[in-house]
């Protein structure tokens, strides 16, 4: 599979991705401006995955789902943030945004939506409750949300954050993936699992 179509938007420079899963277009996260970006390209995704419920990742989600007529998926533990985004006003949310309801809640152990062929979900909380990563083993790609970055990891000082939980999840679920696995994060440039095992200062044993 070629590299995903990438959009970066909003004051937090949040990444969104569009990937083709064998004819099914999956959007991953929905920062500010992503809807206009998709409209400009005349692309309607077939589904939307929210890696977690922080405001910069769900900004356009409700409007995007309405426009595209597509289902929305996220983990049960992050539902309270998606359904009550005003709770984040005290933590940097610059304005009120629309709540977004899941068409179906997903967990790493449950069945995946139709069209998500050769995909796996990894639950890695610690940055945010219910943080999901989408792993495509066939293509050596991981869409990690705000779990793992190039030379960094997700912050754990927001409500529901837990440093030990985050780092243990990365060590147990992400670092065992093939070293050539490309990690597409919620912020910043892509990296690889092998690169982060070698040089990420947060992951030193």
State residue 86's pLDDT score: 76
For 170, the token pair is 């990365």
Report the CATH superfamily, name and number, of domain 5-203. Answer: Ribonuclease Z/Hydroxyacylglutathione hydrolase-like (3.60.15.10)
Per domain, the residue ranges of the chain are: 5-203
* For range 6-10, the mean pLDDT: 97
pLDDT per residue as tens digits for the range 85-143: 777 766 666 677 899 999 999 999 989 999 998 899 999 999 999 999 999 999 999 99
Exposure class string for 14-30: b at 16+ Cβ within 10 A, else e: bbbbbbebeeebbbbbb
pTM score of the predicted model: 0.95
């Amino acid at each position: 599979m070629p590299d995903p179509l990438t959009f970066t938007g909003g004051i937090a420079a949040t990444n969104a991705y569009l990937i083709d899963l064998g004819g099914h277009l999956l959007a991953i996260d929905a920062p500010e401006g992503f809807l206009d970006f998709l409209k400009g390209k005349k692309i309607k995704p077939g589904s939307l995955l929210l890696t977690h419920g922080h405001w910069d990742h769900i900004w356009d989600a409700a409007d995007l789902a309405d426009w595209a007529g597509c289902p929305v998926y996220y983990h049960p533990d992050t539902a309270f943030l998606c359904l009550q985004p005003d709770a984040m006003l005290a933590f940097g949310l610059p304005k009120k945004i629309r709540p977004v309801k899941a068409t179906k809640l997903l967990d790493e152990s449950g069945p995946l939506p139709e069209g998500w062929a050769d995909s796996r979900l990894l639950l890695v909380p610690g940055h945010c409750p219910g943080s999901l990563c989408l792993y495509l083993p066939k293509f050596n790609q991981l869409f990690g949300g705000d779990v793992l970055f190039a030379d960094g990891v997700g912050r754990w000082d927001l409500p529901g954050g837990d440093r030990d939980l985050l780092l243990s999840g990365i060590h147990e679920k992400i670092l065992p993936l093939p070293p050539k696995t490309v990690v597409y994060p919620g912020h910043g440039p892509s990296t690889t699992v092998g690169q982060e095992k070698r040089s990420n200062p947060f992951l030193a044993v």
